[in-house]
Amino acid sequence: MNTKTIKIDRNNFNIEDLKEAAMTLKNGGLVAFPTETVYGLGADGLNPQASEKIYAAKGRPSDNPLIIHIADINALDVLTKNPSKKGIQLAKKFWPGPLTLIFDKSEIVPYSTTGGLETIAIRMPNHPIAYELIKMSGVYVAAPSANTSGRPSPTKAEHVMDDLDGKIDYIIDGGKVDIGLESTIVDVTDDIPTILRPGYITRSMIEDVIGPVNVDQALLSKSYNPNIVAKAPGMKYKHYAPKGELIIFEGEMDRVIGKINEITKQKISEGLKVGIIATDETIGAYKEGDIKIIGTRKDEDTIARGLFEILRDFDNDGVDYIFTESFGDNKLGQAIMNRLLKAAGYRVVKVL
């Protein structure tokens, strides 16, 4: 298949430029497009043949359900059954935005989109290209992240091309995304909602609106526990895995840097290639290896935005190991550490 790519300036475009992509979606094709979180791979969510193409292109397990992207909150009337009051409160507060809500599904939503579940994940993205594309296509757009299953989510169009060129119809290149981590997912089907995936919208932002919520147990443990299965089917898979072995070093910063320098030296002497994830604040302290800056500790947003890209860059460099500092786990840090721990397969070295 020949994948067509079109570049669109998110701040200055003519909606006619999106027409071909919108028609591709309407006619059952696959279109990758930017959102504020990561790039999505869209298809008509009510057309089982179309959503099955998503699973094929990504190599995604068929029990891993898709998020439906909407441009108008009234779509809830069509896609859900008795949506909970708390769910609607959250939608009104945070949409458009990086929040996905799980409701009971209506009859018209096919099981091929929900991975066989009676519930449906819905999000209204906050991105001008996504908004116009969804509106113009006239369909409810099922869209997982536009990466090959298991690889880091794409934060720019080049990442989508690397994974899916030749496998999908269309890519809209709208430049780099804003947030860089996937949306927060909240299951609002129970009286007390549960956070299934941490993201830019934090627990306290949610609790400010609807009161106490639970957090899926699987997110709380810092080590892998085979007895706790994540409630969001996609969270149980090995994820974001770079090709090199990623290891997180935790502890007092000077000691962490010392330890990373020591192990790097040793690995290089064995003829191995080592990548190091540094920050603006620590870059000067590393001595050898393929050293890259993820962002600044003064602004967690920059770390979130840089995480998936740096993992892909190290893949391209062909490193055998990636050593990284660890990050705080309050606010956005929780989402950052959730992704980093999964990418590292929970390999953490505590430096004493």
Residue ranges binding Mg ion (CB under 5 A): 145
Comparing CB distances to ligand TXA, the nearer of 120 and 340 is 120
Residue 275 contacts ligand TXA per CB under 6 A: no
Calculate the alpha carbon distances from 345 to 110, 242, 244, 264 in Å.
33, 10, 12, 20
Comparing CB distances to ligand TXA, the nearer of 196 and 344 is 196
Can you tell me the distance from the alpha carbon of 206 to that of 209, in angstroms, rounded to the nearest whole number? 5
**Interface mask (CB under 6 A) for ligand TXA, residues 195-214, using x and -?**
-x------------------
Q: What is the DSSP letter of 45?
A: T
Helices H / strands E in the chain, number of each: 12, 16
Write down the H helix ranges in the chain: 19-26, 48-58, 75-79, 85-94, 111-114, 128-137, 157-164, 203-210, 217-220, 253-269, 300-317, 332-343
Taking CB under 6 A as the criterion, the residue among 114, 126, 137, 194 binding ligand TXA is 114
Residue 337 contacts ligand TXA per CB under 6 A: no
Taking CB under 6 A as the criterion, the residue among 232, 248, 276, 343 binding ligand TXA is 232
Comparing CB distances to ligand TXA, the nearer of 114 and 264 is 114
Comparing CB distances to Mg ion, the nearer of 126 and 145 is 145
Cβ-proximal residue to ligand TXA, closest one: 234
Whether residue 8 contacts residue 173, with contact meaning beta carbons closer than 8 Å, is answered with: yes
Which residues ranging from 123 to 152 are in contact with ligand TXA (CB under 6 A)?
A: 123, 125, 143-145
Whole-number CA gyration radius for the chain? 20
Residue 68 contacts ligand TXA per CB under 6 A: no
Q: What is the DSSP letter of 80?
A: B
Residue 35 contacts ligand TXA per CB under 6 A: yes
Residue 120 contacts ligand TXA per CB under 6 A: yes
User: CA dihedral in degrees (219, 225, 228, 229; nearest 10)?
Assistant: 80
Q: Decide which of ligand TXA, Mg ion, none touches 148; Cβ closer than 5 to 8 Å per partner kind.
A: none
Q: Which stretch, 117-125, 204-212, 216-224, 286-294, contacts ligand TXA (CB under 6 A)?
A: 117-125
Write down the H helix ranges in 109-252: 111-114, 128-137, 157-164, 203-210, 217-220
Which residues ranging from 160 to 199 are in contact with ligand TXA (CB under 6 A)?
A: 182-183, 185, 196
Whether residue 215 contacts residue 187, with contact meaning beta carbons closer than 8 Å, is answered with: no
Comparing CB distances to ligand TXA, the nearer of 188 and 256 is 188
Closest CA to 113 of 26, 19, 186, 50: 50
Residue 106 contacts ligand TXA per CB under 6 A: no
Binding residues (CB under 6 A) for ligand TXA: these are: 35, 37-38, 40, 64-67, 100, 102, 114, 117, 119-121, 123, 125, 143-145, 182-183, 185, 196, 232-235
